[in-house]
Protein backbone atom coordinates (compact mmCIF):
# COMPACT_ATOMS: atom_id res chain seq x y z
CA UNK A 1 0.00 0.00 0.00
CA UNK A 2 1.21 3.48 -0.92
CA UNK A 3 2.55 5.45 2.01
CA UNK A 4 3.54 2.53 4.19
CA UNK A 5 4.76 4.14 7.39
CA UNK A 6 7.84 1.93 7.59
CA UNK A 7 9.34 3.93 4.73
CA UNK A 8 9.73 6.89 7.06
CA UNK A 9 12.22 5.41 9.54
CA UNK A 10 14.17 3.79 6.67
CA UNK A 11 14.50 7.24 5.13
CA UNK A 12 16.44 8.40 8.16
CA UNK A 13 18.50 5.19 8.49
CA UNK A 14 19.90 5.18 4.95
CA UNK A 15 23.36 6.52 4.11
CA UNK A 16 22.97 10.22 3.59
CA UNK A 17 24.50 12.23 0.78
CA UNK A 18 25.41 15.89 1.19
CA UNK A 19 22.11 16.73 -0.53
CA UNK A 20 20.25 14.67 2.08
CA UNK A 21 22.06 16.54 4.85
CA UNK A 22 21.27 19.94 3.35
CA UNK A 23 17.65 18.87 2.92
CA UNK A 24 17.41 17.74 6.54
CA UNK A 25 18.88 21.04 7.75
CA UNK A 26 16.37 22.92 5.61
CA UNK A 27 13.49 20.94 7.10
CA UNK A 28 14.73 21.25 10.68
CA UNK A 29 15.05 25.04 10.34
CA UNK A 30 11.56 25.16 8.93
CA UNK A 31 10.21 22.97 11.75
CA UNK A 32 11.75 25.15 14.46
CA UNK A 33 10.27 28.30 12.94
CA UNK A 34 6.92 26.62 12.37
CA UNK A 35 6.51 25.43 15.96
CA UNK A 36 7.24 28.90 17.35
CA UNK A 37 4.83 30.62 14.96
CA UNK A 38 2.07 28.10 15.47
CA UNK A 39 2.24 28.15 19.26
CA UNK A 40 2.20 31.94 19.22
CA UNK A 41 -0.80 32.07 16.89
CA UNK A 42 -2.87 29.29 18.34
CA UNK A 43 -2.48 29.35 22.08
CA UNK A 44 -5.79 28.51 23.76
CA UNK A 45 -7.16 27.12 27.00
CA UNK A 46 -7.72 23.38 26.95
CA UNK A 47 -10.39 21.35 28.74
CA UNK A 48 -11.01 17.65 28.29
CA UNK A 49 -14.33 16.84 26.62
CA UNK A 50 -16.69 13.95 27.32
CA UNK A 51 -16.75 11.47 24.43
CA UNK A 52 -20.08 9.93 25.50
CA UNK A 53 -21.80 13.30 25.50
CA UNK A 54 -20.05 14.11 22.26
CA UNK A 55 -21.57 11.02 20.64
CA UNK A 56 -25.03 12.30 21.50
CA UNK A 57 -24.27 15.75 20.10
CA UNK A 58 -22.68 14.33 16.94
CA UNK A 59 -26.01 13.48 15.30
CA UNK A 60 -25.82 16.75 13.36
CA UNK A 61 -22.44 15.64 11.93
CA UNK A 62 -23.49 12.19 10.69
CA UNK A 63 -24.86 13.23 7.29
CA UNK A 64 -21.45 14.42 6.09
CA UNK A 65 -18.88 12.73 8.32
CA UNK A 66 -20.60 9.42 9.07
CA UNK A 67 -21.59 7.98 12.42
CA UNK A 68 -17.98 7.08 13.21
CA UNK A 69 -16.27 10.07 11.60
CA UNK A 70 -15.35 8.26 8.37
CA UNK A 71 -16.97 10.19 5.56
CA UNK A 72 -17.84 8.32 2.38
CA UNK A 73 -17.71 11.43 0.20
CA UNK A 74 -14.01 12.13 -0.57
CA UNK A 75 -14.67 15.87 -0.66
CA UNK A 76 -15.48 15.79 3.06
CA UNK A 77 -12.77 14.89 5.58
CA UNK A 78 -12.45 11.82 7.71
CA UNK A 79 -12.33 13.15 11.27
CA UNK A 80 -12.19 9.81 13.09
CA UNK A 81 -9.06 9.55 15.21
CA UNK A 82 -8.17 13.19 14.66
CA UNK A 83 -6.54 15.05 17.56
CA UNK A 84 -9.18 16.50 19.88
CA UNK A 85 -7.10 19.67 20.22
CA UNK A 86 -7.07 20.19 16.45
CA UNK A 87 -10.78 19.39 16.09
CA UNK A 88 -11.74 21.74 18.91
CA UNK A 89 -9.66 24.58 17.52
CA UNK A 90 -11.14 24.29 14.04
CA UNK A 91 -14.67 23.87 15.35
CA UNK A 92 -14.06 27.16 17.14
CA UNK A 93 -12.93 28.73 13.89
CA UNK A 94 -16.12 27.57 12.17
CA UNK A 95 -18.34 28.72 15.03
CA UNK A 96 -16.70 32.12 15.27
CA UNK A 97 -16.68 32.69 11.51
CA UNK A 98 -12.88 32.68 11.21
CA UNK A 99 -13.01 29.66 8.93
CA UNK A 100 -15.82 29.91 6.39
CA UNK A 101 -17.84 26.93 5.16
CA UNK A 102 -21.55 27.21 4.30
CA UNK A 103 -22.28 23.78 5.76
CA UNK A 104 -20.20 23.94 8.93
CA UNK A 105 -20.79 27.52 10.08
CA UNK A 106 -24.54 27.21 10.77
CA UNK A 107 -24.19 23.74 12.35
CA UNK A 108 -21.90 24.93 15.14
CA UNK A 109 -23.04 28.55 15.42
CA UNK A 110 -24.96 28.00 18.65
CA UNK A 111 -22.56 25.56 20.32
CA UNK A 112 -20.64 26.34 23.49
CA UNK A 113 -16.98 25.54 24.05
CA UNK A 114 -18.11 22.58 26.17
CA UNK A 115 -20.13 21.23 23.23
CA UNK A 116 -17.12 21.56 20.94
CA UNK A 117 -14.83 19.83 23.45
CA UNK A 118 -17.31 16.94 23.69
CA UNK A 119 -17.55 16.57 19.91
CA UNK A 120 -13.77 16.68 19.59
CA UNK A 121 -13.33 14.02 22.28
CA UNK A 122 -15.90 11.76 20.60
CA UNK A 123 -14.32 11.86 17.16
CA UNK A 124 -10.81 11.47 18.56
CA UNK A 125 -11.98 8.20 20.13
CA UNK A 126 -13.13 6.79 16.78
CA UNK A 127 -10.88 4.72 14.47
CA UNK A 128 -10.08 6.05 11.01
CA UNK A 129 -10.79 3.73 8.10
CA UNK A 130 -7.80 2.70 5.95
CA UNK A 131 -7.00 4.26 2.60
CA UNK A 132 -4.72 3.39 -0.31
CA UNK A 133 -2.37 5.41 -2.48
CA UNK A 134 -2.26 5.43 -6.26
CA UNK A 135 0.78 3.29 -7.12
CA UNK A 136 1.62 5.64 -9.99
CA UNK A 137 1.97 8.58 -7.61
CA UNK A 138 3.71 6.92 -4.67
CA UNK A 139 7.31 7.81 -5.51
CA UNK A 140 6.68 11.49 -6.15
CA UNK A 141 4.37 11.70 -3.14
CA UNK A 142 6.92 10.00 -0.91
CA UNK A 143 9.66 12.42 -1.97
CA UNK A 144 7.53 15.45 -1.20
CA UNK A 145 6.23 14.08 2.09
CA UNK A 146 9.61 12.93 3.39
CA UNK A 147 11.99 15.41 1.82
CA UNK A 148 10.02 18.32 0.41
CA UNK A 149 11.48 20.18 -2.54
CA UNK A 150 14.42 22.34 -1.43
CA UNK A 151 14.85 23.74 -4.94
CA UNK A 152 11.41 25.36 -4.85
CA UNK A 153 11.35 25.96 -1.09
CA UNK A 154 8.72 23.33 -0.21
CA UNK A 155 9.34 21.88 3.26
CA UNK A 156 8.83 18.20 4.03
CA UNK A 157 5.45 17.26 5.49
CA UNK A 158 7.20 14.81 7.81
CA UNK A 159 8.68 17.70 9.80
CA UNK A 160 5.33 18.59 11.39
CA UNK A 161 3.09 15.60 10.67
CA UNK A 162 5.53 12.78 11.43
CA UNK A 163 6.74 9.75 9.45
CA UNK A 164 3.38 7.98 9.75
CA UNK A 165 1.18 11.03 9.43
CA UNK A 166 0.08 11.02 13.06
CA UNK A 167 0.61 14.75 13.51
CA UNK A 168 1.60 16.46 16.74
CA UNK A 169 -1.37 17.02 19.09
CA UNK A 170 0.62 19.17 21.53
CA UNK A 171 1.47 21.62 18.73
CA UNK A 172 -2.03 21.24 17.21
CA UNK A 173 -0.62 19.78 13.99
CA UNK A 174 -3.30 17.43 12.59
CA UNK A 175 -3.19 13.74 11.86
CA UNK A 176 -3.09 13.18 8.08
CA UNK A 177 -2.84 9.42 7.57
CA UNK A 178 -5.67 7.80 5.55
CA UNK A 179 -7.28 11.15 4.77
CA UNK A 180 -9.16 11.29 1.47
CA UNK A 181 -6.75 12.31 -1.29
CA UNK A 182 -9.33 14.59 -2.90
CA UNK A 183 -9.97 16.45 0.36
CA UNK A 184 -6.24 16.85 1.06
CA UNK A 185 -5.54 18.06 -2.48
CA UNK A 186 -8.36 20.60 -2.28
CA UNK A 187 -7.05 21.87 1.06
CA UNK A 188 -3.51 22.24 -0.25
CA UNK A 189 -4.72 24.17 -3.30
CA UNK A 190 -6.78 26.44 -1.06
CA UNK A 191 -3.76 27.07 1.19
CA UNK A 192 -1.60 27.80 -1.85
CA UNK A 193 -4.17 30.09 -3.44
CA UNK A 194 -4.86 32.10 -0.28
CA UNK A 195 -8.44 30.94 0.30
CA UNK A 196 -8.04 30.70 4.10
CA UNK A 197 -7.54 33.52 6.59
CA UNK A 198 -8.00 31.87 10.00
CA UNK A 199 -5.29 32.20 12.71
CA UNK A 200 -2.13 30.18 12.11
CA UNK A 201 -2.85 29.59 8.42
CA UNK A 202 0.34 31.41 7.38
CA UNK A 203 2.35 28.26 8.08
CA UNK A 204 0.54 26.12 5.54
CA UNK A 205 0.28 29.01 3.08
CA UNK A 206 4.06 29.20 3.16
CA UNK A 207 4.51 25.42 2.83
CA UNK A 208 2.14 25.10 -0.12
CA UNK A 209 3.01 28.31 -1.96
CA UNK A 210 5.45 26.63 -4.34
CA UNK A 211 3.68 23.28 -4.71
CA UNK A 212 2.72 22.40 -8.26
CA UNK A 213 -0.62 20.76 -9.03
CA UNK A 214 1.24 17.54 -9.84
CA UNK A 215 3.05 17.58 -6.48
CA UNK A 216 -0.22 18.25 -4.67
CA UNK A 217 -1.96 15.30 -6.33
CA UNK A 218 0.98 13.02 -5.57
CA UNK A 219 1.48 13.92 -1.92
CA UNK A 220 -2.29 13.84 -1.26
CA UNK A 221 -2.43 10.31 -2.67
CA UNK A 222 0.61 9.26 -0.63
CA UNK A 223 -1.06 10.59 2.54
CA UNK A 224 -4.23 8.61 1.78
CA UNK A 225 -2.22 5.40 2.00
CA UNK A 226 0.08 6.48 4.83
CA UNK A 227 0.04 4.51 8.08
- Cβ-based neighbours of 194, under 8 Å, separated by 6 or more: 205
- Comparing C-alpha atoms, which of 208, 199, 187, 162 is closest to residue 31? 162
Confidence of residue 227 (pLDDT cuts 50, 70, 90): confident
Q: How far apart are alpha carbons 118 and 173 in whole angstroms?
A: 20
DSSP 123-179: HHTSPPPP----TTTHHHHHHHHHH-BTTTTBPPTHHHH-TTS--BGGGTBPP-TT-
The alpha carbons of the chain give a radius of gyration, in whole angstroms, of 17
Q: Which CATH number fits domain 51-124: 3.30.450.40, 1.10.10.60, 1.10.760.10, 1.20.1600.10?
A: 1.10.760.10
**Which letter does DSSP use for residue 58 in this model?**
G
Q: Would you say 114 and 57 are in contact if contact means Cβ atoms under 8 Å apart?
A: no
pLDDT score of 197 = 95
d(CA 59, CA 94): 17
Q: The domain 7-40+130-224 is classified under which CATH number: 3.10.450.50, 3.40.50.300, 1.10.3720.10, 1.10.760.10?
A: 1.10.760.10
Indicate the range of 40-44, 112-116, 122-126, 180-184 predicted with least confidence.
40-44
pTM for the predicted model, two decimal places: 0.81
Q: Are 45 and 85 in contact (CB under 8 A)?
A: no
DSSP-assigned beta bridge partners for residue 154: 149
Q: Report the C-alpha gap between 71 and 147 in whole angstroms.
A: 30
pLDDT higher than 90, residue 35: no
pLDDT in tens, 81-118: 999 999 999 999 999 999 999 999 999 999 999 999 99
The Cα-based distances of 65 to 39, 40, 133 in angstroms read 28, 31, 21
Sequence ranges of the domains in the chain: 7-40+130-224, 51-124
* Of 9-18, 23-32, 100-109, minimum mean pLDDT range: 9-18
Whether 7-40+130-224 and 51-124 share one fold: the answer is yes
Can you give the pLDDT at residue 12? 35
- The predicted-structure confidence for 110-149, as pLDDT tens digits, reads as follows 999 999 999 999 999 999 999 999 999 999 999 999 999 9
List the beta bridge partners of residue 168: 173
Amino acid sequence: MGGRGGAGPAFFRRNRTSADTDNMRFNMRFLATTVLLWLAACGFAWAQGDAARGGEKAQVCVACHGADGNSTNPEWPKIAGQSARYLFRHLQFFRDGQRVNPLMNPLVAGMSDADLHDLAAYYESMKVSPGAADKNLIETGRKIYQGGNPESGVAACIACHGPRGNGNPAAVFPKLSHQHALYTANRLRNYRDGAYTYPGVEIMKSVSAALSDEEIEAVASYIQGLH
